[in-house]
Structure 1
Amino acid sequence: MMRYLYRQKVDQQYALSMTGGTDQLAWAATANYDHNVDELHAKYNRLNLSYKNVFKPVKNIELTSGIYYTQSMTKSGAEGYGLIKQIYNGFYPYTRIADDDGNPVGITKDYREAWTDTLYPGKLLDWKYYPLTDYKDNYTVDKIQDMVFKGGINYRFLPVLALDIKYQYERQTQASTNLWGVNSYTMRSTINMYSQIQEDGSVQYGYPYGGRYTYDNSTMESHQLRAQLNLEKHWKNHQIVAIFGSEVRTLTDKSNGGGVYGYDEDLLTYTTVNYEEQIPSITGSGYTTLSDLTSTISDKTTRFVSFFGNAAYTYLSKYTLSLSTRTDASNLFGLKINDQWNPFYSAGLSWNISDENFYRVSWLPKLKLRSTYGISGNIDPAMTAVTTIAYSYSNNTYNNAVQANFNHYYNPELRWETSRQFNLGADFSTANNRINGSLEYFYKHGIHLFGNALLDYTAGAGLSITKNVASMKGRGLDLELNAIILNHQFGWQSKLNFSIYHDKLTDYYLSSKAGGDYISIPAARQGRPSKVGYPVNSVFSYKWAGLEHETGDPLGYLHGEISKDYAAMYSATTLDDLVFSGSSIPTRYGSWINSFSYKGLELNMAISFKLNYFFRRETVDFEQIARQAIGHNDFEKRWKNPGDEKFTNIPSLEYPFDNYRSAFYRGSEAFVEKGDHARLQYIQLSYTLTKKQFPKLPFSDIRIYGNANNLGIIWRANKLGIDPDVIYGYENYGLPAVSSYSLGLNITFNK
């Protein structure tokens, strides 16, 4: 089946760059084009054009300008294996989607074949689903055009002082269309379901015959103006470098959308419909109405303003004190000045200790110590300064009155998210710079963090609202090492990046303490709430007591006693009763990059690693097998006879199915695995010919290269062969990142 669904992914990239100019005028132009077709026939095309120049008409004045244009098109492809569903979402055994010659074969999808094939034979449209070709009649196209213009002037009116003014304008248009053609399964099935067979044998289509077409257009415009003074002063043993300025930005988003029924993409015609009409089903068991596709319109303007300043004072080229401040405001917080403005600042110190007379470490001739402390902030761009409503595009069904719904709620208590951070680091290098790098410790404290807080639903304002609900602390180390191991005809350079990170939740608003709210099935990933004092992204599980000897039932704990009262365990288990395995995101991670060279030949390779974290693996769900025909290889490992509990944690097959039983064992600690692994990220091999080697070459140099990316895991801690970066589940058959291979040619022409 896979060989018919998937094809070889092909990516094509082309690039051209040119530069030129004189002492007064310099310019650069680039053009890039991508043409990609993925393994499921989805297409992506992108064109990038840019031109920028620097003009110096007179002394002390510099004019800069640039224009950047991007155009892209994305078209959806076929459905992957995990998205192709038959009845109850699963595949029937031995399902074929192609015949022996590779021609598409129709399969049943939502209804039994015995029913669709015998219901008014010859009267209805083909009710089969064709996985190999359906995407040609059912697709989404996204087109984006983005243009950015930048202009600036720099005027040095004093030897130590310059005025720098920059302006940027951006306009982006996006057009998204969705077509369900009349030959797509979705439309054929829907039209059939609401068709009526008349007494004379003719077919009356209750649902408009044809396709369904929807569109969504949006336009974004932004204006950004920045003005700043640049100060640079040197005298004797002193140096001051500073900037002071202001920035204003306006962002306008406009969008409109809608759609039609009975669409003919060849004739560009559609059918006028009555959205209030009740359409009977072919079975006579119910009615439906058409979803309203009438046009919708939205318009939103957001404004930001900020003032900033940065200054650094250096003495004897060894001691540096730096200060920065910034205050930002936005109309998202309303009209009150105290709500709009939020000041942020930072301060830092650095010391070139290796320049001191007392420093005598010959093997480490360069050593610099530095430290910073600062406060920064963040806002939720979806928030509004007032409670807003959105008018419906149709009147109320019962009284024909104009109607509207709440869109966003204004929360006067909402504040900026604030983060305080302290850094302490060192930069170093050995003799001849054979080894250099940095080591940095950081500490973060985030307060007033955004999140959803529950509301009293009887107030009629919804179930939740965005509030400042949490605080967290984090700390870690970042190490970067660069080494020149060999520096002769054969060269070898190596780079190691290694990070350690730990965080914990220090305050969180959550009314529920039910254990089930903290367990994610099938995979433990970000998104579940955590417990105060524990990592923000944690893996919690039900405590596991093994399988019962006589029945193979999974055993847990209820009020400290071994139990298999699954419903009671589910309702009585609290957060404090759960087992904590560890963080669900790596707390140690990094990469190791090596470069080897010999004459014009160069080999680069990179290994990345993630350590000290956990994930919950998927396992068998017996009800899913029975109802949706979706299996799992753990089914073979299930308990069958007394004594099997010594060799397996997979419970026995029980009927009738118990959802609480399934939720317990799938959410237990028995299925938590270590996520530690290392993978080969890429290998690049290149060869360069230069004009110096071959004087008759018509260009400066030519470089031929080949890349191989995403080459897979080379080590993992779990013994099951699972890729921890891929979420496996019944609704999403996770696939690892696709390996890609490319060849390229880079030519630099003579100047």
Structure 2
Amino acid sequence: MNNRAYTKRWYNILLSSFRKNKVASPKITLEMRLLTYLTLGASLQLSANSYAQKISIHTDKAALETVFKEIRKQSGYSFIYKSAYLKNAAPVSVSIDNRNLKETLDKLLKDQPFDYVIKGKVVSLVPLTAPRQANSVSFDEEIVQQRPISGYVKDQQGNPLQKATIRVKGSNISTSTDEKGFFQLNGVDRSATLLISFLGFDNLEVSAASNLQSLTLRLAKQEVEEVVVHTGFQTLNKERATGSFGLIDKAQIEKPTSNIAQRIIGTTAGVQATLDVDGNPRFEIRGQTSLNIRDSKGELTANAHPLVVVDGFAIQGDFNSINPNDVESITILKDAAAASIWGARAANGVVVIVTKKAKQGTPLKVDFQAFTRVGKKFDLSYVNPLASSAETIEYEKRAFNRWYISENSGSLESNYNKKWSQGLVALSEHHLGYMSLADRDAELERLKTLDNRKQIEDLLLASPVTQQYNLTLQGSGAKMNNLVSMLYERNQSNFKETGNDRYMLNYRTTASIFPWLDVHASTMLQYNDFKKNGIKLSDSDNFSIKDLSPYDMLVNSDGSYTNIHQYYWPIMERFVPMDRFPYTDWTYNPVQEIYERDHRTKELNTRLMGGLTFKPFKGLTFDTKLQYEHFNTNNRYLYKENSFYVRKRVNEATAWDNKKNTFIPNLPKGGLIEQPFEKPREWGRSTVNSYTFRNQLNYNRTFGLDHEINAIAGSEISNIVSEQFYTPPSYGFNEETLTVGSYPNGPGGTFNPIKNWLGSNQTFRYTNSFTYRTERFVSMFANAAYTYRNKYTLSGSIRTDASNMITDDPAYRYAPFWSIGGSYQIGREDFMQQYTWLDRLNLRLTYGYNGNVDRSTSFRPLVALDSNPNVYTNEYTGRISSYGNPTLRWERTATWNAGIDYSLWQGKLYGKIDVYNKQGKDLIAQLSIPAVNGTNAQKLNNAEISNHGIELELGTALPLHGSDITWRGSFNFSYNKNKVNKLFVANYAASELYGRDYGAYVEGYDANALWVFQYAGVHDKQPMVHGTNGELYDFGTWTPGDGRDYLLHAGTRVAPYTLGFSNSFQIYDFNLSFILTGKLGHKFLKQSFNYPAIGTSRLLPNNKLGEVMNGDPNSIIPLPLNDIEPRYYFWDRFYPYMDYLVTNASHLRMQEVNASYRLPTEKWSLLKQCNAMVYLQGNDLFTVLFNNTGEDPEYRLGTMKPRPRFTFGLKVGF
């Protein structure tokens, strides 16, 4: 009912009442008539002012959305509507001159399937539930039935929804909510039904007589799915994005996690993830694009990871430097059109993260989240699959009696440091004549009865537990918004006395200083404290769980510590006066050791960002931003005086004075402070300081009804400085006085030789070590997109990166990265309107180049200096570590991508299909070169690799019972074929191909090719493999020739097929969801028997011993058949890499299951304005293997496979 009709009815009812009132005086009647005239005049004036703006429009079959933009331009009125409305709208052909808004809309929407409501300066489109006609209910009846009603509307997180539309179903009576979500309506019948709607949310129908104080709207995923994408430089409407993007659902992001990267797993096609035991993922987007993905220690380099961008800037920290509760959206840039704007760092893909900001005009909002995650201890039979104690003893007897019978001569110098097991010591002592046969057999029988697994579980392993607490405060005023979040997380790892505490503080603010100037600032502070005292499962530098024989008990029956021998104990007792050394205790026990040390790593990380946005005129903005990052890591390893580590070092460094018949200490007694040296990421102290300064112009304008331009251009400079610092060990440390000792006789050396107790020379590290690295980038970039009639979009981007890391030849240094792309919204064409079941159909095509940074080489020769002076000349010496690549340039990847986006049956079914081809060029690889250059191999830009594939995504959203019971599901599938197209290597030794988890690159084969020996059975009691030209070779010799000629290519190690399947069932306030992932089509080598040979450590046969003992020797390698097998220790070059070990690695994994329940807080008087949810999550619940080995291909037998973990949590919002 409009204002004019409403006023007229009031006038008629008042006159009628006056005629019926016989006692009314002429004076009162006159006053009432004057009041009526004034009210009528004011109402008419109000109506005239509201719609006085004149509008003129002339269109021919124009899209309704285009016409709305023109109306907004002429009148200043904004439009709110669901995208589904326009999908069913007919093209508009009208000719309107100088009409007001209401007249314009009446004519414009005359034949459209929806109505409109005007509130303030906003026009809202609403469903057409009845024909447009005058209300048939008499005005007198309305007066009788009317009553005021009011309530609040919020979302599922408890946030008030401003400008939500509340309409009386079947009428034109409506209103909208204010900034607090409050609404009030007058004249509503108690039997009426209210329809509450808000863009992006499911409609809600409630009775006007019901409780309206807490109305919750649920997010309609099918309406908002992929509305916008973020590139890091700009935000684009999905319909105008030509590139290939992946978006993570908001509901997925909000699930509990310690690492936000876990939310990506299984949700996006083309993204393959591998998790370590701590839940840290490694991603590969559309295949491997570089050959140098690992350093000399086997650690992944930056080449292997996608670029991580947070709020527009690439960050130096990894995903762990991001508070997972602060993340608003995650966009994955896959192809060149999406990622080329990031230039030389984008070949592996880009993950763009946008953090939450306080919404303008919202009051203070408080959110609190807490969860506890608990998991089971490791399954020792899987992570350390040893043979039983009895089987181990029998193997030791067999090995000792037949292989290396003369290994122990009984002398001190060559045998004291053998870490032999108790079984081998008994066998050896009997062989040397120090133990009788009866005593030996009795000791071996005793050992057979022991089993240490229970003690290991109780004393060395721990159940992993994670506790996380997060508090977020946000709010805004008229000019400024603020958000602050605080996180505390405590992790207990899988090992005793090992874990970490994480603290994070984030603050973000935006202030509108002037209409033409905004100020942005954000701060991230993070402090991590890692405790690393536990005994690891496997450790190349220290004693570990895998070094224990199955009968090595940790404590005696009385609870006292056992001695896990680190020496050949009988020899020590016979020849060494242990009680005369500085420390008389030479025993070792791993349980005792973990409480006698304090290994700490502390990290203090900072990320600061500030910027200004200038808005000189409509459509144009200028951003100037600066990001500074500081990452500081300090490793401090303290060994207490009673630790075996200290006692062993001090005692073994002690010298023997034959003349005086006494021992001379060369190291002071006391504790020891040491910093790790030359271990990946574990230098004593390391710092990374970086800054990025960017200036950027942004232009976004619509011209007329048909043209829209989005463009950016800018420049960027960045500088990254990395430093590592190592100090030598500090002996004689006193924790109370904080003092250290000195070397009593100096550090040793050629001119000052210092002997140990066995008469050998020794030196002690006494100098510092440093590394310093600077990376500088200067970049210029531009991106533009033009859209015509909301159907045709053409885009292009270009970027050039100059750096001190590549050649200074301008032909290479400034070579640009670029892309072009186009999209066609064919679903909006007139000829497609007949297909009413088709909501959206978009075609995309892109081509372009992006790049990759390889930090493993230099364009100039590199010289590595030794950290200590030469012991003879006292001068520093150096060596050439790289001869340099004078034409070193960026690795480049050319990508074309064709895609289709679709939506059917009003969003009930939607998805996308992408086909791509990536060609990596100028890749850096170790190539063969003539030896006349001083080396026969050098890293050069001369390799090529290709990836091509297809990606499918399918989603559905089905209301099973209105919005109360819904099912939402998504399925993604991808295929990637990888091939090394160009790589010149003259000859491959077999050792360069087999057993390589990385780096076995051969031209013409997959970059992750699996190469194995072909087992030829037993000949003359020797196991054999096939060699060149069919020749047979035994395990005691090297196989000559090019490995490609006789090794078998058994497939690929990386799955070419991946899939993800997620489902969510909403039943009123309950939600149940799960994510299932799959990897198919690849191979792995299952665990073989380990054929342990006697050396200086224990014999630890694994649980595959029975397969070898009972197997066919022509099908599986047997134990040595000869009585004496002197080269048995060579067998480890062959047995793990046999063709009969190749196994199907395909599997499906139940990644997680989530269940949540929204508490009915509206029923509790004290919590009416509160939103609360409890949830339960299970991770790694089960795996379906496509092989019969029971071995997980991603966590092979003998590695740390995670057990199921369960999370219990609570979310509360006020």
Supply the distance in 1 between the matched residues of 2:554 and 2:886 (Cα, whole angstroms).
Answer: 57
- Spell out the pairing of 1:443-454 with structure 2 (5 A cutoff): 443-453=917-927
Q: 1:638 aligns with which of 1095, 1100, 1108?
A: 1108
Supply the distance in 1 between the matched residues of 2:550 and 2:924 (Cα, whole angstroms).
Answer: 47
State the Cα deviation string for residues 586-605 of structure 1 (Å, max 9, x = none): 11112211212222222222
Residue number in structure 2 paired with 1:541: 1012
Supply the distance in 2 between the matched residues of 1:29 and 1:618 (Cα, whole angstroms).
Answer: 50
Structure 1 residue 102, shift from structure 2 partner: 5.1
With over 3 angstroms needed to count, the CA separation of the structure-2 counterparts of 1:299 and 1:514, relative to structure 1, is closer
Residue number in structure 2 paired with 1:530: 1001
State the Cα deviation string for residues 148-207 of structure 1 (Å, max 9, x = none): 221111111121211111111222222122233332222222222232456877642234
State the Cα deviation string for residues 39-81 of structure 1 (Å, max 9, x = none): 2121211111111111112213211111111111112131234
Is 1:722 the counterpart of 2:1187? The answer is no
Indicate the larger mover: 716-725 or 156-165: 156-165
Supply the distance in 1 between the matched residues of 2:723 and 2:1043 (Cα, whole angstroms).
Answer: 46
Structure 1 residue 243, shift from structure 2 partner: 0.5
Indicate the larger mover: 94-103 or 21-30: 94-103
Letter in 2 for 1:247: E
Is 1:112 the counterpart of 2:568? The answer is yes
Say which SS state the counterpart of residue 512 (structure 1) adopts.
coil
Supply the distance in 2 between the matched residues of 1:98 and 1:568 (Cα, whole angstroms).
Answer: 44
Is 1:577 the counterpart of 2:1055? The answer is no
Supply the distance in 2 between the matched residues of 1:135 and 1:372 (Cα, whole angstroms).
Answer: 57
1:557–1:569 CA contact under 8 A, matched in 2: no
Say which SS state the counterpart of residue 1194 (structure 2) adopts.
coil
With over 3 angstroms needed to count, the CA separation of the structure-2 counterparts of 1:690 and 1:337, relative to structure 1, is farther
Is 1:5 the counterpart of 2:460? The answer is yes
Q: 2:758 aligns with which of 270, 279, 283?
A: 283
Q: 1:209 aligns with which of 669, 672, 677?
A: 669
With over 3 angstroms needed to count, the CA separation of the structure-2 counterparts of 1:225 and 1:661, relative to structure 1, is closer
Say which SS state the counterpart of residue 1040 (structure 2) adopts.
helix
Indicate the larger mover: 313-322 or 733-742: 733-742
1:260–1:271 CA contact under 8 A, matched in 2: no
- Spell out the pairing of 1:344-383 with structure 2 (5 A cutoff): 344-359=817-832, 360-383=834-857
Supply the distance in 2 between the matched residues of 1:699 and 1:455 (Cα, whole angstroms).
Answer: 73
Indicate the larger mover: 381-390 or 243-252: 381-390
Supply the distance in 2 between the matched residues of 1:11 and 1:499 (Cα, whole angstroms).
Answer: 33
Residue number in structure 2 paired with 1:32: 487
Is 1:510 the counterpart of 2:979? The answer is no
Structure 1 residue 7, shift from structure 2 partner: 1.4
Residue number in structure 1 paired with 2:528: 72
Residue number in structure 1 paired with 2:891: 417
State the Cα deviation string for residues 278-327 of structure 1 (Å, max 9, x = none): 3323233x22211x241233433321111111111111111111000011
State the Cα deviation string for residues 696-749 of structure 1 (Å, max 9, x = none): 316421111222222231x11121110101244xxxx31212432222121101
Supply the distance in 1 between the matched residues of 2:1035 and 2:507 (Cα, whole angstroms).
Answer: 66
Say which SS state the counterpart of residue 116 (structure 1) adopts.
helix
With over 3 angstroms needed to count, the CA separation of the structure-2 counterparts of 1:59 and 1:748, relative to structure 1, is same
Is 1:56 the counterpart of 2:512? The answer is yes
Letter in 2 for 1:411: N
Residue number in structure 1 paired with 2:499: 43
Alignment TM-score, normalising by the size of structure 1: 0.90
Say which SS state the counterpart of residue 338 (structure 1) adopts.
helix
Letter in 2 for 1:283: L
Residue number in structure 1 paired with 2:905: 431
Supply the distance in 2 between the matched residues of 1:745 and 1:387 (Cα, whole angstroms).
Answer: 58
Alignment TM-score, normalising by the size of structure 2: 0.57
Letter in 2 for 1:318: K
Say which SS state the counterpart of residue 474 (structure 1) adopts.
strand
State the Cα deviation string for residues 85-130 of structure 1 (Å, max 9, x = none): 8799843451101233655322112x21212344214234322221
1:639–1:645 CA contact under 8 A, matched in 2: no
1:17–1:31 CA contact under 8 A, matched in 2: yes
**Which 5+ residue runs of structure 1 have no aligned equivalent?**
none
**Percent identity for Structure 1 against Structure 2:** 24
- Spell out the pairing of 1:164-179 with structure 2 (5 A cutoff): 164-179=623-638
Task: Determine which structure has greater relative contact order: mean sequence separation of CA pairs < 8 Å that are 6+ residues apart, divided by chain length.
Answer: 2
Residue number in structure 2 paired with 1:470: 943
Supply the distance in 2 between the matched residues of 1:10 and 1:87 (Cα, whole angstroms).
Answer: 22
With over 3 angstroms needed to count, the CA separation of the structure-2 counterparts of 1:390 and 1:620, relative to structure 1, is closer
State the Cα deviation string for residues 574-621 of structure 1 (Å, max 9, x = none): 303322221111111122112122222222221111110001123123
Say which SS state the counterpart of residue 777 (structure 2) adopts.
strand
Letter in 1 for 2:499: K
1:314–1:320 CA contact under 8 A, matched in 2: yes
Is 1:228 the counterpart of 2:228? The answer is no
Letter in 1 for 2:672: R
2:1093–2:1128 CA contact under 8 A, matched in 1: no
- Spell out the pairing of 1:283-682 with structure 2 (5 A cutoff): 283-284=758-759, 286-290=760-764, 292-359=765-832, 360-384=834-858, 386-389=860-863, 392-406=866-880, 410-453=884-927, 465-488=938-961, 489-520=964-995, 525=997, 527-546=998-1017, 551=1021, 553-561=1022-1030, 563-566=1032-1035, 570-572=1039-1041, 574-624=1043-1093, 628-638=1098-1108, 644=1112, 649-654=1116-1121, 655-656=1124-1125, 657-658=1127-1128, 663-682=1133-1152
- Larger relative helix fraction: 2
1:87–1:108 CA contact under 8 A, matched in 2: no
Indicate the larger mover: 25-34 or 686-695: 686-695
Structure 1 residue 38, shift from structure 2 partner: 0.9
- Larger relative strand fraction: 1
2:538–2:546 CA contact under 8 A, matched in 1: no
2:928–2:984 CA contact under 8 A, matched in 1: no
Letter in 2 for 1:399: T
- Spell out the pairing of 1:193-208 with structure 2 (5 A cutoff): 193-196=652-655, 203-208=663-668
Supply the distance in 2 between the matched residues of 1:251 and 1:93 (Cα, whole angstroms).
Answer: 50
Supply the distance in 2 between the matched residues of 1:607 and 1:88 (Cα, whole angstroms).
Answer: 33
Supply the distance in 2 between the matched residues of 1:566 and 1:392 (Cα, whole angstroms).
Answer: 39
Supply the distance in 1 between the matched residues of 2:470 and 2:813 (Cα, whole angstroms).
Answer: 45
1:71–1:145 CA contact under 8 A, matched in 2: yes
Supply the distance in 1 between the matched residues of 2:521 and 2:1027 (Cα, whole angstroms).
Answer: 70
Say which SS state the counterpart of residue 401 (structure 1) adopts.
coil
1:50–1:69 CA contact under 8 A, matched in 2: yes
State the Cα deviation string for residues 316-363 of structure 1 (Å, max 9, x = none): 111111000011110122544334323000011111111112224443
With over 3 angstroms needed to count, the CA separation of the structure-2 counterparts of 1:319 and 1:540, relative to structure 1, is same
Structure 1 residue 498, shift from structure 2 partner: 1.4
Q: 2:1205 aligns with which of 737, 740, 747?
A: 740
Supply the distance in 2 between the matched residues of 1:698 and 1:128 (Cα, whole angstroms).
Answer: 65
Supply the distance in 1 between the matched residues of 2:946 and 2:1071 (Cα, whole angstroms).
Answer: 44
Letter in 1 for 2:481: A
Alignment root-mean-square deviation, CA: 2.8
1:452–1:469 CA contact under 8 A, matched in 2: no
Supply the distance in 2 between the matched residues of 1:250 and 1:55 (Cα, whole angstroms).
Answer: 28
1:196–1:282 CA contact under 8 A, matched in 2: yes
Letter in 1 for 2:670: G
Say which SS state the counterpart of residue 189 (structure 1) adopts.
helix
Give the greater-gyration-radius structure (CA).
2
With over 3 angstroms needed to count, the CA separation of the structure-2 counterparts of 1:547 and 1:605, relative to structure 1, is farther
Say which SS state the counterpart of residue 122 (structure 1) adopts.
helix
Letter in 1 for 2:843: L
1:618–1:671 CA contact under 8 A, matched in 2: yes
Indicate the larger mover: 318-327 or 162-171: 162-171
Supply the distance in 1 between the matched residues of 2:768 and 2:1200 (Cα, whole angstroms).
Answer: 38
Residue number in structure 1 paired with 2:1171: 701
Say which SS state the counterpart of residue 892 (structure 2) adopts.
strand
1:169–1:223 CA contact under 8 A, matched in 2: yes
Structure 1 residue 539, shift from structure 2 partner: 0.9
Indicate the larger mover: 236-245 or 662-671: 662-671
Residue number in structure 2 paired with 1:159: 618
Structure 1 residue 147, shift from structure 2 partner: 1.5
